[in-house]
Amino acid sequence: MKERTLNVLITGTGGPTPRSFARSLHLGNYATYNLIGTDIHKYAIGLYQREIFQKSYITPKSNEPGYWKAIEEIIDTNAIDIAVILPESEVRTWSLRQSEKQLPCQSLIPDIDCVEVMLDKSRLNEVLSGSGLVPRSLSFGHQHTGLKSIVETTLIYPFGVRSSTGSSGLGSLKIESFSDLERWLNLNPSVPKFIASEYLSGRNLACKLLYSEGNLIRAALAERIGYIMAKVAPSGITGNTSYGRLINDRRVLETAHEAIEIIFSKTKARKHGFFTVDLKEDETGRPYITEINIRHVAFTGVLAMAGANLCEDTIRILDNDSEFDTNFHQYIFEEEYLFLREVDALPILIKETDLL
């Protein structure tokens, strides 16, 4: 029997990432967890998964009136010790509140200045411009004057285009000609701003970095290889990995770490929060930053299965666990593991040598 019992609030339980985080906690050894879930939609599957969440609530959207009243009532009623905020729009709401007054409970929330940069890929590229860490890029909207000339002066075909904000590969496509770009803009009128970047043909990578009060504490890396429901997206990228590989690449870690440190420095934000840095390699294997998520992503549970339980690490930091080693540690995977994921199945971790 675990001596410690913690009441933990996890938001956005309709998405795969919060459910993956919750399962990772149940895999851990630090505490017994009473998990309370929230979502904004009554059809969110996590609201009804009692094997994961002991109680569930529907709340207003984080930008709607009544949100904080509802959240604070849930926190008070359930004596919440720690809140894990995972939808990025909700992280922003908590970050704004943190900049103005105390949060209603412990939560690992980055400062608003770095949040605003990371949520907008155009701003991210601006902040990292000149560092050699981001691909050559261009931002534009639907009514951009002289777009053809600007695009063809800045980039060469083919190049990649996607929405400047949002996740799941929103608005993404490999562009072979300007007519491709025109048609894609017309097919995506709801995307207000795009970012086009030089095409990178190498590996698609993720580096997870856990910071606390000025220090980098933990890191783990993985390669994304395939995507769930890839056939429904013209780019083949849906933002939810179907299979991938756990890796130990130090160069990728150093690139991600350098980028985060530059952002902290330029925004004067605390080195604090959990970040998933997405990178893509060029044909020579050089990694470039393409996106930074201010949260865990859905395959965080696979890392926990392999011994890299960054979810429980996050909880132990917030719970001020005196036995937790706060020195930096990169999780190293001794075996060559692949992970397999699908919509209605728990993930599988398998050694590459065991593949059929």
Cβ–Cβ < 8 Å for 10, 301: no
| 88-128 confidence digits (pLDDT tens) | 999 999 999 999 999 999 999 999 999 999 999 999 999 99
**Higher confidence at residue 239 or residue 117?**
117
Domains of the chain are: 5-107 (3.40.50.20), 136-198 (3.30.1490.20), 201-354 (3.30.470.20)
Written as six digits, the tokens of 25 are: 């906690």
Q: How far apart are CA 319 and CA 317, in angstroms?
A: 5
Q: How far apart are CA 130 and CA 275, in angstroms?
A: 22
| 312-324 confidence digits (pLDDT tens) | 999 999 999 999 9
> What's the mean pLDDT in 38-51?
96
Picking from 317, 100, 88, the residue whose alpha carbon sits closest to that of residue 214 is 317
What is the pLDDT of the chain when averaged over all its residues?
Answer: 94
**Higher confidence at residue 316 or residue 144?**
316
> What's the mean pLDDT in 243-255?
97
- Which residues, in sequence order, are bridge partners of residue 204? 224, 280
Pairing outcome for strands 273-281 and 337-342? unpaired
Percentage of the residues of the chain whose pLDDT score is greater than 70: 97
Q: How far apart are CA 216 and CA 290, in angstroms?
A: 21
This prediction's pTM: 0.94
| 268-312 confidence digits (pLDDT tens) | 999 999 999 999 999 999 999 999 999 999 999 999 999 999 999
DSSP alpha helix (H) spans, 141-197 = 147-154, 178-187
